[in-house]
Amino acid sequence: MKKQKIEMLENHDGLVALEKRLGVSRREFLQLCSAMAATMGLPSGAEAAMAEAVATKKRPSVIWLHFQECTGCTESMLRAEHPTLEKLILDVISLDYHETLFAAAGHQAEAARRDAMKANKGKYLLVVEGAIPTKDKGIYCKIGGQTAVDMLKECAADAGAVIAIGSCASWGGMPSTNPNPTGASSAGEVLGKVIPNIPGCPPNPYNFLSTVVHYLTFGKLPEVDKLGRPLFAYGRLIHDNCERRAHFDAGRFAMEFGDEGHRKGYCLYKLGCKGPETYANCPAVLFGDVGNASWPVGTGHPCIGCTEKGIGFAKPIHALADLKNIVPPLSFPRIVEEQGKGASIGALALTAAIAGAAAGGAAMLAKNLGKSHCPENSDAPAKQPEERAES
């Protein structure tokens, strides 16, 4: 049945027209939809529904607001290749307001925004990029004489859905770090509710694209966690999918940038990698469409936890992560053990006395290795070794 549905879609007039505009084959487009459906954990047949929705449904009107940010989120979108941003704009969404990409300016641009809001009242998709300054009545960011706070509230009032893209819009990001002179806040805080967030600095463009296509297909946004992040993209720790995880489990760590362990691709935990406390799909989806290892840890730099509030831009880059599933025990050897004298008789006696306890500890260690941590409990760090012993 599924195969027949796919074959029917390949000959669908809408997909034939879409093929000409996108410049990709219908089969390649269906493969894209299949990849998005699989990434979001949707049931069999969802890829066909996605393809049909993109090909036949009216493109949703999108109003994209810019506030306190570096435009990195938009820049990340500009570098998407499957499909490219101009194809996304032309064939998946109707981008009716975007300050960076607009040819219009000044009063003409603001008139276009209000016209789009009026024509698509209750149906348009509002995308917010950047933190919103709230101190001193929001005077530190104005567009067309209107504060960011007022513009956000006005646009959100009649939106069909609101999405915060990037860490600044999701939880304040870099502008909200101490001393936060402008009172920079997240879009959700200003609106007084949890809204879907696509955090990251920058976020992966395909997480945003998949969210929009889900909305277009099913008329609702994908399932989110308690922080508003889509579970398909932020449901697992980076640590669980990291290509360096085996080195962590084996106790092999880079101790300094450029040392032997760093060159060999050892775990970056001791250099401050926040992967063990950060939820995102970076190691699975990668960045920039340039192939293998195209993400921070893959290129040799610790994850800074940019998708997590209170970690990225708040926690020192080289501070150790609060692990969510297992704490490296003292039994892990160092990369280079010091050379010393032979064991004394007293040391041998002590070793014999604790041998049984060590064996039991090793068994518990093996039992806990690789365990994942539920994102709903993301605020609770893993128990330290001495706490686990007491319980």
226 lies in some domain? yes
Rg (Cα) of the chain, in Å, rounded? 25
The residue among 77 and 265 whose pLDDT is bigger is: 265
- Residue after which a domain boundary falls, among 217, 234, 251: 234
- The segment with the largest mean pLDDT, out of 37-41, 350-354, 368-372, is 37-41
Q: Residue 357: its pLDDT value, please?
A: 47
Strands 61-66 and 142-143: unpaired
| 243 and 216 within one domain | no
Biggest CA-to-CA distance, the chain = 87
- The amino acid present at 173, given as its one-letter code, is G
| 313 and 263 within one domain | yes
90 lies in some domain? yes
Domain interval for residue 382: 238-336+364-390
- Residue after which a domain boundary falls, among 199, 234, 269: 234
Give me the percent of the chain exceeding a pLDDT of 70.
Answer: 66
| 316 and 181 within one domain | no
| Number of folded domains that form the chain | 2
Q: Residue 262: its pLDDT value, please?
A: 96
Q: Report the chain's mean pLDDT, rounded to a whole number.
A: 79
359 lies in some domain? no
| 379 and 325 within one domain | yes
Is the confidence at residue 359, as pLDDT, over 90? no
190 falls in which pLDDT band (50, 70, 90)? very high
| 174 and 295 within one domain | no
| 259 and 132 within one domain | no
- Residue after which a domain boundary falls, among 234, 249, 270: 234
2 lies in some domain? no
| 230 and 85 within one domain | yes
Strands 184-185 and 132-133: antiparallel
Is the confidence at residue 244, as pLDDT, over 80? yes
| 227 and 271 within one domain | no
Is the confidence at residue 371, as pLDDT, over 80? no
| 194 and 94 within one domain | yes
386 falls in which pLDDT band (50, 70, 90)? very low
Q: How far apart are CA 82 and CA 79, in angstroms?
A: 10
pLDDT tens string 74-109: 888 777 665 555 565 556 677 889 888 887 888 899
Query: In this structure, what CATH number is given to the domain that contains residue 166?
Result: 3.40.50.700
Is the confidence at residue 210, as pLDDT, over 70? yes
298 falls in which pLDDT band (50, 70, 90)? very high
By the 8 A CB rule, do 328 and 277 touch? no
Q: How far apart are CA 385 and CA 152, in angstroms?
A: 47
Q: Residue 87: its pLDDT value, please?
A: 60
280 lies in some domain? yes
| 190 and 74 within one domain | yes
Tally the residues of the chain: 391
pLDDT tens string 134-189: 999 999 999 999 999 999 999 999 999 999 999 999 999 999 999 999 999 999 99
Is the confidence at residue 260, as pLDDT, over 80? yes
Q: How far apart are CA 206 and CA 170, in angstroms?
A: 17
Minimum mean pLDDT among 179-193, 265-279, 333-347: which range? 333-347
Q: Residue 248: its pLDDT value, please?
A: 92
320 lies in some domain? yes
| 327 and 196 within one domain | no
| 219 and 259 within one domain | no
Minimum mean pLDDT among 6-10, 184-188, 271-275: which range? 6-10
- The segment with the largest mean pLDDT, out of 40-44, 190-194, 344-348, 370-374, is 190-194
Is the confidence at residue 389, as pLDDT, over 50? no
Q: Residue 373: its pLDDT value, please?
A: 54
The residue among 16 and 287 whose pLDDT is bigger is: 287
Query: In this structure, what CATH number is given to the domain that contains residue 327?
Result: 4.10.480.10
356 lies in some domain? no
By the 8 A CB rule, do 63 and 125 touch? yes
By the 8 A CB rule, do 198 and 165 touch? yes
Q: Residue 208: its pLDDT value, please?
A: 87
Q: Residue 99: its pLDDT value, please?
A: 87
The residue among 15 and 241 whose pLDDT is bigger is: 241
345 lies in some domain? no
